[in-house]
Amino acid sequence: MERHAHTSQIVARNAGCTSSPIIVGVAGLEAVLEVREARSVSDCLPTRWQPAAAVVCRPAPGAREARSVSACLPERLQPAAAVVCRPHPAFTLVELLVVIAIIGMLVGLLLPAVQQAREAARVMQCNNHLKQMGLAALNHESSTRKLPSGGWSPYWDGDPDMGLGPGQAGSWGYSLLPFMEQNALFQLGADGKVEKSTEQCTGAEERGKTPLGFFYCPSRRATKLYPILKESQYCANNTYTPGGEYAKADYSANAGSNIFVNQEYNPTSISAGLTFNWATNDHAKNANGTIFKHSGITIGEIRDGTTNTYLIGEKGLEPGHYEADANSVTTNDNIFIYRGADTDNHVTCCSTTLPMQDRAGYAHYHAFGSPHAGATGVAMCDGSVQRISYNIDATTHANLGNRKDGNVVKLPD
């Protein structure tokens, strides 16, 4: 039988060839073959070694199967060494379980790191929100010579025709809108007069239904509408439905180191508000912070220095109230962002209202706090943002909340 350059098939039966690499040696030459699926003996040989005619490989008499490729070749084509097709090794069940266990351990180590990285990103985003509000408040002061007012009471909504300053019935959040590229939202309901009108009511309703991302802490809840508890009474507010969904906020202004004596809901009319004697109002006359009911604080009145005085910070909130329905929300988060002065949008900085991380089942109201671990964010009156530890000294905290106590204070590291 002569050998040609072209391939001829050698039919191998029961040869046991598999897809493993095989070693072939002929006349002292060796070659390594990679065969995916050996269907015949010729699949185990290179082209140059293919026989000219088909050679049928049958097991020797008395043998069950051919033990090697060389047993299937004629004498003149016998290789120098035996050509053996070895089976491909497979994973055992134990090896597979070990691999799965290792992967599980790696995932368990990786997930906490990913969660920490995401939380760090959310803290940075929250600080950015505070930075925007701090700069907006300073721009408000540059335009009006006063920091934004806290408004009148929670029964009053903002009215663009009231302008900016102590005469504005709406909240500090409402007064910041023109300085945060939201002037169109601020102007909704403008009709040229402060008296209640249908146009004013319609505009206030639309504004109340417009949530803004910079008023929400990304670690606490999404930017969307949430239920409120009470119906507002005056101005445009009395068109709102109790239990309806409106825009809220996760930030509060610094009203000072004095505890709220009581929450007064006066004045009860536009005419009364324009002539109201605010010096008799407990909240307004006792507050020593930077933004509070009917406030109009100038930079010059912050005698302790803008670097050492709180302006706006994250407010404490019980986790069960993040997305609670109206009937379960009783304090600290039952009105929307544009209403006037209330414990929802103002905090006190005394020894009994220290900053605290949000904790399930613990109603931490009227104080700074956040869902973040270790510290809460606060914008200072110079526009900077500081992380205030939950372990801050009570005296230091009160001094930072009081704009005019004259005490030397240093922000904790």
3-state per-residue secondary structure call for the chain = CCECCCCCCCCECCCCCCCCEEEEEECCEEEEEECCCCCCHHHHCCHHHCECCCCCECCCCCCCCCCCHHHHCCHHHCCCECCCCCCCCCCCHHHHHHHHHHHHHHHHHHHHHHHHHHHHHHHHHHHHHHHHHHHHHHHHHHHHCCCCCCCCCCCCECCHHHCCCCCCCCCHHHHHHHHHCCHHHHCCCCCCCCCCCHHHHHHHHHHHCCCCHHHCCCCCCCCCCEECCCCCCCHHHHHCCCCCEECCCCEEEECCCCCCCCCCCCCCCHHHHHHCCHHHCHHHHHCCCCCCCCCCCCHHHCCCCHHHCEEEEEECCCHHHCCCCCCCCCCCCCCCCCECCCCCCEECCCCCCCCEECECCECCCCCEEECCCCEEEEEECCCCEEEEECCCCHHHHHHHHCCCCCCCCCCCC
Dihedral sign of CA atoms 241, 242, 245, 246 in order = positive
Q: Are 157 and 330 in contact (CB under 8 A)?
A: no
Is the pLDDT at 11 greater than 60? The verdict is no
Confidence of residue 39 (pLDDT cuts 50, 70, 90): very low
Q: Which of 7-21, 93-107, 180-194, 263-277 has the lowest mean pLDDT?
A: 7-21
Mean pLDDT over 160-177 rounds to 92
Mean pLDDT over 185-197 rounds to 86
Alpha helices by DSSP H, listed for 197-255, are 198-208
Confidence of residue 16 (pLDDT cuts 50, 70, 90): very low
Q: Rounded to whole angstroms, how far apart are CA atoms 247 and 244?
A: 10
Give me the chain's average pLDDT, please. 78
User: Which pair of tokens denotes residue 347?
Assistant: 């905090």
Confidence of residue 194 (pLDDT cuts 50, 70, 90): confident
Confidence of residue 264 (pLDDT cuts 50, 70, 90): low
Mean pLDDT over 201-212 rounds to 88
In 10 A of CB 190, how many CB atoms? Answer: 13
Confidence of residue 227 (pLDDT cuts 50, 70, 90): confident
Q: Are 119 and 372 in contact (CB under 8 A)?
A: yes
Is the pLDDT at 220 greater than 80? The verdict is yes
Is the pLDDT at 13 greater than 50? The verdict is no
Greater confidence (85 vs 18) lies with 85
In 10 A of CB 356, how many CB atoms? Answer: 15
Q: Are 401 and 289 in contact (CB under 8 A)?
A: yes
pLDDT of residue 352: 83
Give the global pTM.
Answer: 0.72
Which of 84-98, 245-259, 268-282 shows the highest mean pLDDT? 245-259
Is the pLDDT at 321 greater than 80? The verdict is yes
Mean pLDDT over 115-123 rounds to 89
Is the pLDDT at 399 greater than 90? The verdict is yes
Mean pLDDT over 6-21 rounds to 39
Which of 41-45, 266-270, 349-353 shows the highest mean pLDDT? 349-353
What is the tens place of the pLDDT at every residue in 294-309?
Answer: 899 999 999 999 999 9
pLDDT of residue 389: 94
275-280, Cβ contacts within 8 angstroms, sequence gap of 24 or more: 278/166
Is the pLDDT at 98 greater than 50? The verdict is yes
Mean pLDDT over 261-282 rounds to 71
pLDDT of residue 364: 78
Alpha helices by DSSP H, listed for 216-307, are 270-275, 282-286
Confidence of residue 200 (pLDDT cuts 50, 70, 90): confident
pLDDT of residue 237: 43
pLDDT of residue 323: 81
pLDDT of residue 111: 82
